[in-house]
Structures are given as structure tokens and as C-alpha cells.
Amino acid sequence: MSNKLFKPTKRLQLSITGVVLEGIISGCNFMVLFKVLELIFGKTIFFGDILRATGCLGIIFVLRLILYSVSYTESQIGGAGVSENLRVGIGDKLRRIPLGNFTKKRMGYYMNAATNEVADYEQILTHKLADIIKFCVLIVVLALYVSLKNMYIGFIMFASLLLLIPALKLSFHLVNKYGTTKNLAREETVSAISEYLLGSQTLRSYGMAGKKNIALRNTMKEFSNVSYQYERALIPVGFAFMFCVYVGAAASIYIAVNAMVLQELSAAELIVIIMLSLFSCKVEASLYVSIVAYRNLLISKSKIAKLFDEKEEEKGSGSYAPETFKISFENVNFSYVKGERVLTNLSFEIPENKITAIVGESGSGKTTIFNLLSKYYEADSGTILIDHEDISKADVETVLSNISLVDQDVFLFNDTIRNNLRFAAPTATDEEIINACQKANCNFIEYLPEGINTVVGENGNKLSGGERQRLSIARAILRNSNIVLLDEATASLDIENELLVKKAVQHLLELGKTVVMIAHTLPIVQSADQILVIDHGTVIEYGSHEELLVKNGKYTAMWNASKLTK
């Protein structure tokens, strides 16, 4: 599939043909100039000859203008079409890549591929490919034409063209060495800038914005250094090649002057050959630059192709149609990094239509349980069941269709409140949306200028943290899934917003779903039907609040500590 996406369209192929023809026609100017010079030096020129020469030049100009205008426009449209297909293809591919791949370290890779890499490949199609073909054809035609006048000068022009081979071989080696490093540095820069922009508010609050953000500065400096090394390595090769080409041009001029002295060339032929020799130097310089740039831009193509070759989520190999929503973990082991266990032989059951709270110290594995249940990651071993159905045999979308997640980091699109909520239920009516907002305590919507039609800004930046969190709960209510996951929903909120969110969560809990919550503060879990205490990736205690206090174990110590911090 990816090869089809890279393939230039017929429209683009025709535009490249037009650009090449325009380049060949441009060489006809020298033929007209030669005829005019012959007339001048022959002392038989008339005003009619000047008109005819002017007319020929005018025709050549108009033909070139038409060809260039049409071909350039078509190449841009054709290139944009290929870019569009690539970006849509990348978007479709990203939809099938395991969710666990979307870590901060990988975000720069994916963002760079969909933006800069595709833009670079478009340059190949719209500029470099046509220019390379045009310059090659033009130099060969000019060399053949000059060979008819003087075979030695023609030989020098062909020899200059052959010098491209060693120059390009060395340049390609340098491009492979520095171009790939430069490409990776650009990925890191994209990631760093993205992270910096998302965290700019926090950075400013701690006085780390601007030059004080050392990580971002170092990343950008590294990209600058690699770019400099790339240019520093290639410039000497290009200079050496062009030096040889201009030496060849000087030799051609010397031979042409001698030939004229020996009356083997006319004055008109001498002038045209000198002009063609110098013109060919310019064309060969452009050809060298275009081919080196083409090779460099091919790195972008390989990066995009590599993305398309990434392993996709495995399709479900069996049936998956749970009728009840009891959750079971059976001897589950998991590691983010090989050799560093996060969950170890983890086993527990979560009853249907009950509230289960998961508590434990930071890093104990609470969020990892949610990640596995949501199929963001696959367990290394063991089984995760929903109603005795193994979720490893089901597609991610199928599993997630029964799950609503209320995360502490709420993501909102730069769209209206209505559309942000409709992502959870595309067919929801306005009445259903308003009802969900009321249950989620989103009373702030009444005071917004356009109500549910208010645009929330980039990632909801026009709303407070508590308002975003309540919209997340409204989205979960609207989705009406059988399983609800609450990941520290009241974390990082002020007292007023925490109270409002807790009331919204209570409405969500009253819906009679299978609710699993990660607790940030223990008092919120008191009413849970079951509490699991996680430590170092395994369950060390479970039971109700009262049962756990009687055990006087880890939970009791955490409970007593939470009362001291009030």
C-alpha cells in the first residue's frame, strides 16, 4: 500500500515532462543568438532579420512561459495530492499502531513524519525530480551541439558531466552519514518544542521559560550543530567539482580561441561556444545541488516508509462478546522496559456493577493496570478477562467500546463543547448532551457566551482544570459504557473544583456501572465496594474500607497518614 502512496500521479508525470521540454526549448535561444551573430559578422544584416530573430525569441519565450506556468502549477497540485494521500495514509496507519507506542519519545518521530518528512518528499516530486531530468537532458543536448562545432570542446563538456559520478558518490556517503543524523536531530527538536509549548505555563511559573529551558536549548543547538557539520562536509566536495568544471570551461575557451585563429571556427561560433561553456557550468552546478538534495530528501521517504512498516495491532483471533462485565486479572506480568518488572503475577477480580478502588504508592503499578485493561499495552504473560472473555483475542476498538476513561489529564479538541462531547457519542442529541452536562455538574456552561457552542480553545485552554475535568465526566456519562475507569479524577484541583468534580463523579457512580478508580486521596474511596492495595506490582491487601482497617496493614498506615495531612 505504501508504495502506491509514494507513486507520482499521471498529472505529476505530465508536469515533469513539461518542465523538461521547457528546459530543452530554453537552449534554442542560443541557436537564435548564433544566427544573429552570423548575420552581424557577415555584415549582411537587415531590419527584417532582426524582426525575425526577435519573433523567434518571442515565440520561444511564450512557449517556455506557457509550458513552465502549466507544468509548475500542475506539479504543485500533483505534489500536494501525493502529500495529501501520504498524510491520510499516515493518519490511517497511526490508527492501527499500538497505543503504547505513543510515548513522548515517539511523538516527535510521528509528528515529524506527518509534517516535515512529507513536505520534504513533496519537494522531490515538485522540484528536484523534474530539475534533475531537465538539467541532464539540457547538458547532453548542449554538448552534442558543441561537438558538431568542435569535437574536443564537446568531449570536455561530456567529461565534466562524468565528473559528477565520483563527486556524487562521495557526497552520497556524506549525506548518509550526516543527513540521517540531521533527520534524527530534527525529530528530537520537534518533540522538545512540542513538549515546551504544552508545558509553557508550568515552565513560566517556575521561571524556566526562554533561555532557561536548557533541554530545549540543547536540542536546538544539537540540530544547529549537525546542520553545520552537514554543510561543512558537503561544501568542499561541491567546490572541488565546480573547480574542475570551470577548469574544463577555461580549456574549452582556450581551444575555441585557437580554433578561431586557425579559422576552424567563426567569430559567431566562438562567442556562442564561450557562452555555452559558461552556461553549462551553471547548469552542472545546479544539477549537482539538485541531485545531492534529492538524495538527502530520500531519507525522508525512507522514514515515512519505515513508519508504514511498523508493527500494527494484532487483529482479534477469537470471538469477544461479553454479556456481563466482571473483570479478572490472572497471573499478569508486565514490563515497560525489558528486565524491569512493573506487575508481577498480579491476580484479582473486580465484580460487575460495583465500585472498586485501587490504591498504592506512586510507581506501584496502578496506572499500568488501567493501561493493560484499555489495551494501550499488552501483558507480557498472564490473562486479562472481561466476563471470561480474553481481551488479548479482541481488537482494541472492540474492548474500548465498553470502556469510558476519566483521566487526570483531560484532552479537549479546539472545538465547541458540543462537538467535544459528541466524540463519545456521535449520534447524541442536544438534549442528551445537556442532560449529561447537568449530571456532571457542568453548570459553568450557562455562563459561557455561546453555551455548548462555545469553542474551548487548544486542548481546552479557555477552561479551568475543574471545568475540563467535569466535561470529561460528562463525556463518560454520555458514552454510557459498561465499564468506567477513573484515574485520579480529582488530582491537582483546588478545593472548590475538587468538591464539584467529586459530586460529578458521584452522579457517574450512581449509573450502576463496573467502576474502577485510582485514588489520589483515600477519603474518596471509603464508600467503594472493594479496595485493592497495590505494592510493587502485586495485590497485598483487598477488602472494604472497614475490613482493611481491621487488618491493620498497609492500607491502615496509608489511611492514618492521609488523616495527618488534612
Q: What is the pLDDT of residues 127-178, one digit of tens each?
A: 788 888 888 888 888 888 888 888 999 899 889 888 989 999 999 999 888 8
Residue 241 has pLDDT above 90, yes or no: yes
> Which tops the pLDDT comparison, 197 or 65?
65
Among the candidates 273, 308, 343, a domain finishes at 308
Domain check: are 213 and 294 in the same one? yes
Domain check: are 127 and 194 in the same one? yes
- Torsion angle, alpha carbons of 478, 480, 484, 490, to 10: 20
Residue range(s) defining the domain that contains residue 388: 327-564
Flag the least confident range among 82-86, 274-278, 452-456, 500-504: 500-504
Domain check: are 402 and 439 in the same one? yes
Q: How far is CA 230 from the centre of its chain?
A: 23
- Answer for the pair 463, 396: CB distance below 8 angstroms, yes or no: no
Cell of 334: 508486565
Among the candidates 281, 308, 335, a domain finishes at 308
Residue 63 has pLDDT above 90, yes or no: no
Percent of the chain scored above 70 by pLDDT?
89
Percent of the chain scored above 90 by pLDDT?
13
pLDDT class of 469 with cuts at 50, 70, 90:
confident
Residue 62 lies in a domain: yes
Q: How many domains are there within the chain?
A: 2
Give the model's pLDDT for residue 490: 60
pLDDT class of 501 with cuts at 50, 70, 90:
low
The winner for highest mean pLDDT among 66-70, 151-155, 316-320 is 151-155
Domain check: are 287 and 435 in the same one? no
Give the model's pLDDT for residue 478: 86
Residue 332 has pLDDT above 80, yes or no: yes
> Which tops the pLDDT comparison, 530 or 509?
530
**What is the C-alpha separation between 222 and 216, in angstroms, rounded?**
10
Cell of 124: 522531490
**What is the C-alpha separation between 384 and 369, in angstroms, rounded?**
10
Domain check: are 269 and 391 in the same one? no
Domain check: are 346 and 450 in the same one? yes
Domain check: are 173 and 211 in the same one? yes
Residue 317 lies in a domain: no
Domain check: are 231 and 362 in the same one? no
Looking up cell 459528541, which residue turns up?
422
Give the model's pLDDT for residue 525: 79
pLDDT tens digit string along 480-493?
888 888 887 665 55
**Other C-beta atoms within 10 Å of 289: how many?**
15
Give the model's pLDDT for residue 247: 93
- pTM of the full predicted structure? 0.67
Residue 408 has pLDDT above 90, yes or no: no
Closest CA to 349 of 534, 530, 499: 530
Residue 78 sits in a domain of what CATH number? 1.20.1560.10
Cell of 274: 564561450
DSSP 451: G
Domain check: are 88 and 235 in the same one? yes
**Residues in the chain, total:** 566
Residue 452 sits in a domain of what CATH number? 3.40.50.300
- Answer for the pair 483, 429: CB distance below 8 angstroms, yes or no: no
Residue 434 lies in a domain: yes
Domain check: are 360 and 253 in the same one? no
For residues 463-475, average pLDDT = 84
For residues 445-449, average pLDDT = 86
